[in-house]
Amino acid sequence: MADQNISFVRHDQIPPSPPPTSAAGPVKWARENLFSGPVNTIMTLLAIFIIYRLVAGAFPWFWNGVWDADSIRECRDILTAAGKSTGACFAVLVDRWDHLLFGFKYPATEYWRPTLAFVLLLFAAAPALFYKYVPRKFLLFTALYPFIAFWLVWGGSLWVPVVILVSIIATMFAFRAVEGLDVNMRRILAGIVGLASGLGLAYLLYQGATELWFISNSVGTGGAFAAISSYLFKAASIFMFVFFIPMGIFVGYAIYDDAEGGGLVTIVTSLFVLYALLAYVLGPLSSGLNSVIPLELQAVPSRDMGGYMLCMILGVVCVSLSIPLGILLALGRQSSMPLIKGVCVVFIEFIRGVPLITLLFVANVMLAYFMPPESNFDLILRVIIMITMFSSAYIAEVIRGGLAALPKGQYEAADSLGLNYTQATRLIILPQALKISIPGIVNVAVGLFKDTTLVSVISMFDIVGMIRGPIQQSTDWISIYWEVYLFAALVFFVVCYSISQYSQWLERELRTDHR
Amino acid sequence: MTTMTDHVAEAPSGSFKLSMLLNDTRYRSLTFQFIALVAIIAFMAFVGGNLVRNLAEAGLNISYAFLGEPAGYDINQRPIEYDSQSSHGRAALVGLINTLIVAFLACITATIFGVIAGVLRLSNNWIVSKLMSFYVEIFRNVPVLIWILIIFSVMINAMPAPRDFRGDDATSSMLFDLFAFTNRGVFAPAPQFTNSFAATAESGPTSTGLDWLLVVGALVLSFFVARAIGSWATAKQEATGDRPTTWYLTLAAWLLPVVLVCMFLGLTWNVPALKGFNFQGGMQVRGSLIALWFALAIYTGAFIAENVRAGILAISKGQTEAAAALGIRPGRIMSLVILPQALRVIIPPLISQYLNITKNSSLAIAVGYMDVTGTLGGITLLQTGRAIETILLLMLFYLTISLLISFFMNIFNNRMKLKER
């Protein structure tokens, strides 16, 4: 029998042998990910070739870079002396470091101020950016930061921002105080405030009416278009003239009539208090305090701002101003009131239809014509106004998307709770809509920050303006380009890439669906 | 939000109080709008009054008469006839055409870059997808102005001068003896016609707008013929089940009319040649145009890549798997199943990227390419000092272009939309 001849029977299992080297480890990974087919192999080889060319071209240039030279000629001499055919002149970055960061007019002894303001910016932004992980009380510093930063960057007396801050706090206290008054006191206060604002408004409207009449007389000559616009201005003037007294009486009486329950008295009174403090107390008080306790930094005028600092100032100021403005525009565009909706739509579509450069031209040469002759806005302020308008239109569109994405049930639920428009918007609608819009808002912010380089076109000396002007046209560093532009690209990349990474992190953080 | 204030129960009828205009939801929106109207008029009055006063003080007026006056400056890149005696209006027109040229070129190139990078970023090939991520992140996060200036500087500084092409020991040579890449731009052969409409007995080969109109007409004819062939084939396929082979008919429909028109006009190529200090003849594409075109394309391409990637990721994986189950090859799954569906997601952001290219092309002023910002908003503004008029016209140009592009793209978008019941 055959089975008697079996000399060996295995009782245990053979241990599994390791997979062949071609099916495990890096080789397997490479086979699956890089060389899985002829097309893939060709693409991999092509990619490796491109990377090789980039590295082979750039690496010696970086490695041979000269960091210590006074001019591009000296730098090239050093390279030739060392027998190197290629090499970067990073010496320009060392030589012009201050210019690239702060512009060429900011006083050199004061560089610590914008640097400190920048460091503090990180601390001020942290409670807002990482609100879950930073205690809420640090938001107080965020609220104080604009005043600190303004004082640090522009200098001047410390008492000016302090008095402004105190005025705002005093206004808030006035708001609380009026809210707490009893009915009779409110009546009296409402009578005074109503009379004052009614008279003030009537006076303003009367001024407007005469102004319109003045315009209509000066455009009236020449051509049918001028004649038509003249009549339009006349009609508007008459409209204003007819309504100036009724509007004044109406507003004054409405405030008085509102005294018992409404918040109108409180708001208007607080505004009066704020105006009075800023217009009549700010100047004398701050100069008085300054003469007693002089706390002053060297004042730096706006036109001396430059370099990367200017991009930072424009980016931070315009983004923070344009978010509230964008929210208002988006709400206006969603409004059921045709006039307000129309104004918002025209504004948003107009701004989005024209390039930022034309708006900067407006800031540069045109805006002055629309301001009163004695007013003296400096260029940086005009640019801030235009860039803020520009980005608020884009942010409004992003937020409108967020508002439209909310289910209708949310609006209806807010209605059914008996919330009024302000309460519903503040408590129900905006928190959800803003959450949806965060990635879009961050995209706009990054885009805006990149667009701040455009101010170099209207001869402001931001980092690109510094490179194109004082650096490339100097005899020392004539027409040097790779080193400086790569540096500029690097500083923008660091900021923009971090912001976009933050936005992706926040998106994951805010995700409330269960995944 | 309209629902928030509607359908309020009828308020108890009583005496009308003035504060009801503010507190009663029935009248409140009217009151607010009235206040807004008054505020707008007051703002106009303020701005307009200042304008009139400031203009009077500076001795200026608002007039567009300068558009008819001779411009007195030269434009180096001119697609239509223009010399320094032409009017400011014609200079603006040249600039407008230049804007459209660079925007058109950049849109096409950016789309190509973006689609390739977006698709490859999703590739299984690790090194390729990482390379594409690198491209997208690097270009998205650096201002386009810096890219324009870098490419322009490279064009100016790193390209050979025309004199390097001269002599026996030339350090540079022309590509195929047809193209010359110099620091003054790229010289390429220019098509010309011996029987051009503008040709006279002694002028030699030339070209004019009418010739090109004829060529474009031939292409339009080809388009309709090719479409007719396609619908004929579809009709036949639906009737018999077999689709006739039409690729040679379509090819003929595209080629034949153009070839015939070119033969009729007598097409010759004017090849650039080194004469004196520079290349003569042919078509000169200046460094400024190339820098602007290439920078806009590569920058916007990075954004389009992200849009394409998002669009492809939006298509559920089941679509790919279903197509694979039907036995369709991977390449065809992409082109027949995924991309047509992804296009619906991709096209709306693509439109806004095209608009961005058009608006960003105004950065031409940084490299001296004479687009409408360079002519009308640049030299014309400086020469005539008419800031308000030129800037308003400039805004009007861009606004019109933007609104037109979004109008046509919205029509296209609506036609592409899923027909849902």
Instruction: Report pLDDT for A284.
Output: 83
Q: Which residues of B touch A334 (CB under 8 A)?
A: 1
Dihedral angle at the C-alpha atoms of A149, A152, A158, A161, nearest 10 degrees? -20
Question: Considering only CA atoms, which of A489, A483, A493, A492 is closest in space to residue A96?
Answer: A483
CB of A358 within 8 Å of a chain B CB? The answer is: yes
What does DSSP say about strands B190-193 and B185-188: parallel, antiparallel, or unpaired? unpaired
Q: Do B23 and A247 touch (CB under 8 A)?
A: no
**Residue of B50, B127, B381 with shortest CB distance to A47:** B127
Q: Check residues B256 and B116 and name the one with the higher pLDDT.
A: B116
Distance from CA of A232 to the nearest CA of B (A): 11
Residue linked to tokens 């060297």: A298
Question: Looking at beta carbons, which residues of chain B come within 8 Å of A233?
Answer: 48
**B41 — pLDDT class (breaks 50, 70, 90):** confident
Q: What's the mean pLDDT in A161-167?
A: 87
Per-residue model confidence as pLDDT tens digits over A466-492: 888 888 888 888 878 888 999 999 999
Residue percentage of chain A with pLDDT more than 70: 96
Residue type, A94: V
Of residues A49 and B71, more confidence is placed in A49
pLDDT band at B174 (very low <50, low <70, confident <90, very high): low
Higher pLDDT, B275 or B333: B333
pLDDT at A3: 57
Statement: residue B1 has pLDDT above 50? no
Span A409-415, mean pLDDT?
89
Band of residue B150 on the pLDDT scale cut at 50, 70, 90: very high
User: Is B126 within 8 Å of A48 when comparing Cβ atoms?
Assistant: no
In angstroms, how far is CA A300 from the centroid of its own chain?
A: 23
The pair of three-digit structure tokens given for residue B412, joined into one six-digit string:
């296209």
Higher confidence at residue A135 or residue A511? A135
Indicate the pLDDT class of residue B172, thresholds 50, 70 and 90: low
Give me the percent of chain A exceeding a pLDDT of 90: 20
Q: How far apart are CA B188 and CA B186, in angstroms?
A: 6
Binary contact (A208, B137; C-beta < 8 A): no
| Residue in chain A lying closest to B393 (CA) | A358
pLDDT at B170: 65
Identify which of A47-56, A68-77, A419-428 has the greatest average pLDDT. Answer: A47-56
Q: Starting at the edge strand that comes first in sequence, how are the strands of the sheet with B185-188 ordered?
A: B180-182, B185-188, B283-285
Distance CA B110, CA B355 (A): 12
From A290-294, A323-327, A494-498, B312-316, the region with the lowest mean pLDDT: A290-294
Predicted pLDDT of residue B6: 47
Q: Distances in Å between the alpha carbon of A217 and those of A31, A371, B44?
A: 83, 20, 15
Run of H or E including A234: helix A223-257
Mean pLDDT (whole number) for B54-63: 78
Confidence label for B276 from pLDDT (cuts 50, 70 and 90): low
Contact yes or no for A338 and B33 at CB 8 A: yes
Mean pLDDT of chain A: 85
A243:B38 CB<8 A: yes
| pLDDT band for position B134 (cuts 50, 70, 90) | very high
User: Taking the model in full, what pTM does it have?
Assistant: 0.85
Q: Would the CB atoms of B4 and A343 count as touching at under 8 Å? A: no
pLDDT digits (tens, 9 = 90+) for B340-398: 888 888 888 888 899 899 999 999 888 888 888 888 888 888 888 888 889 999 999 99
Q: What is the mean pLDDT of residues A213-233?
A: 74
Number of other residues whose CB lies within 10 A of the CB of residue A322: 25
Both tokens of B257, joined, read 């009319």
pLDDT at A241 > cutoff 70: yes
3-state secondary structure of A217: helix
Range 363-402 of A in CB contact (< 8 A) with B: 365-366, 368-373
HEC letters along chain B: CHHHCCCCCCCCCCCCCCCHHHHCHHHHHHHHHHHHHHHHHHHHHHHHHHHHHHHHHHCCCCCCHHHHCECCCCCCCCCCCCCCCCEHHHHHHHHHHHHHHHHHHHHHHHHHHHHHHHHHHCCCCHHHHHHHHHHHHHHHCCCHHHHHHHHHHHHHHHCCCHHHHCCCCCCCCCECCCEEEECCEEEECEEEECCCCCCCCCCCCECCHHHHHHHHHHHHHHHHHHHHHHHHHHHHHHHHCCCCCCHHHHHHHHHHHHHHHHHHHCEEEECCEEECCEEECCEEECHHHHHHHHHHHHHHHHHHHHHHHHHHHHCCHHHHHHHHHCCCCHHHHHHHHHHHHHHHHHHHHHHHHHHHHHHHHHHHHHCCCCCHHHHHHHHHHHHHCCHHHHHHHHHHHHHHHHHHHHHHHHHHHHHHCCCCC
Residue type, position A412, single letter: E
The answer, for A497 touching chain B at a CB cutoff of 8 Å, is: yes
pLDDT score recorded for residue B14: 60
Does A450 contact B388 at a Cβ distance shorter than 8 Å? no
**B141/A372 touch (CB, cutoff 8 Å), yes or no:** no
Name the nearest CA neighbour of A120 among A152, A162, A84, A77: A152
Question: What is the dihedral sign for C-alpha A176, A177, A182, A184?
Answer: negative
Judge: B363–A48 Cβ closer than 8 Å, yes or no.
Answer: no
**Residues from chain A contacting residue B53 (CB–CB below 8 Å):** 373
pLDDT for A282 beyond 90: no
User: Looking at residues A208-228, what average pLDDT do you find?
Assistant: 75
CA distance A477 to B247: 59
Band the pLDDT of A110: cuts 50, 70, 90. confident
User: What average pLDDT score do residues B246-272 get?
Assistant: 79
| Residue B22's pLDDT band (cuts 50, 70, 90) | low
So what's the pLDDT on residue A323? Answer: 93
Q: Which pLDDT belongs to residue B295?
A: 94
Dmax over CA atoms of chain B, in Å, equals 104
Q: What's the average model confidence in pLDDT over B52-72?
A: 79
Q: pLDDT tens-digit profile of A371-407?
A: 887 777 788 889 999 999 999 999 999 999 888 888 8
Q: Is A369's CB within 8 Å of B54's CB?
A: yes
- A36 in contact with B at a CB cutoff of 8 Å? yes
Would you call A199 exposed, middle or buried from its count of C-beta atoms within 10 A (0-12, 13-18, 19+)?
middle
Enumerate residues 253 to 312 of chain A having a beta carbon within 8 A of any beta carbon in chain B.
253-254, 257-258, 262, 264
Residue A343, chain B, CB below 8 Å: the answer is yes
Which member of B128, B149, B153 has the closest CB to residue A47?
Answer: B128
Tokens describing residue A41: 């192999």
* Interatomic CA distance for residues A250 and B415, integer angstroms: 52
DSSP string, A180-207: HS-HHHHHHHHHHHHHHHHHHHHHHHHH
Whether the Cβ atoms of residue A100 and residue A463 lie closer than 8 Å to each other: yes
Smallest Cβ–Cβ distance between B143 and the set A358, A370, A450 belongs to A450
| Count of residues in chain A | 515
Contact state of A492 with B124 under an 8 Å Cβ cutoff = no
Contacts of A209 in chain B (CB under 8 A): 45
Nearest chain A residue to B41, by CA: A236
Query: Under a CB-based contact definition with an 8 Å cutoff, are residues B30 and A272 in contact?
Result: no
Q: How far is B379 from chain A (nearest CA, A)?
A: 13
Q: Does A49 touch chain B (CB under 8 A)?
A: no
Higher pLDDT, A182 or A338: A338
Q: Is A356's CB within 8 Å of B359's CB?
A: yes
According to DSSP, the residues that pair with B185 across neighbouring strands are B182
- pLDDT higher than threshold 80 for residue A342: yes
pLDDT at residue B322, as a whole number = 93
Interface of A with B in 197-226 (CB under 8 A): 204-205, 207-209, 211-212, 214-215, 218-219
Residue by residue, DSSP assigns A370-414 as: HS-TT----HHHHHHHHHHHHHHHHHHHHHHHHHHHS-HHHHHHH
Q: Residue B173's pLDDT is what?
A: 66
Residue B323: pLDDT band with limits 50, 70, 90 = very high
Q: Collect all residues with Cβ–Cβ distance below 8 Å to A490 and sequence separation of at least 6.
A: none
Cα three-residue angle B378-B384-B388, rounded to 5 degrees: 75
- pLDDT of res. B5: 47
Is the confidence at residue B255, as pLDDT, over 90?
no
Per-residue pLDDT at A328 = 94
Question: What is d(CA A290, CA A296) in angstroms, rounded to the nearest whole number?
Answer: 8
DSSP codes joined into one string, A129-198 = HTTTTS-GGGHHHHHHHHHHHHHHHH-EETHHHHHHHHHHHHHHHHHHHHHHS-HHHHHHHHHHHHHHHH
| pLDDT for position A262 | 63
CB B80 within 8 A of CB B97: yes
Cα B293 from chain centroid? 10
Per the listing, tokens 């309709």 go with B224
Radius of gyration of chain B (CA): 29
Q: Which has the minimum average pLDDT: A161-170, B3-12, B203-212?
A: B3-12
Q: Is B195 or A240 the better-scoring residue by pLDDT?
A: A240
Structure tokens at B221: 């004819």
CA of B257: how far to CAs of B195, B249, B254, in Å? 17, 13, 7
Tell me which residue in B137, B141, B362 faces A355 most closely, judged by beta carbons: B362
From the CA of B293, how many Å to the nearest CA of chain A? 17
- Segment A405-412 shows an average pLDDT of 88
Q: Assess whether pLDDT exceeds 70 at residue B18.
A: no
Query: Which pair of tokens denotes residue A215?
Result: 């315009």
Contact B182, B159 (CB under 8 A): yes
Size of interface A-B (CB pairs under 8 A): 231
pLDDT of amino acid A180: 78
Decide if B36 and A343 are in contact by the 8 Å CB cutoff.
yes
Residue B166, min C-alpha distance to chain A (Å):
25
The verdict on a CB contact (< 8 Å) between A247 and B360 is no
Q: Hey, is the C-beta of A462 within 8 angstroms of any chain B C-beta? A: no
Contact B255, B223 (CB under 8 A): no
Cβ(A198)–Cβ(A251) under 8 Å? yes
B2 to chain A, minimum CA–CA distance in Å? 6
CA–CA gap between residue B52 and residue A125 (Å, rounded): 44
Cα dihedral sign for A177, A178, A180, A185? positive
Kindly tell me if the per-residue pLDDT of B136 is higher than 50.
Answer: yes
Closest residue, chain A, to B150 (C-alpha): A485
ipTM for the complex shown: 0.86
Arithmetic mean of pLDDT, B186-193: 75
Give the CA radius of gyration of chain A. 33
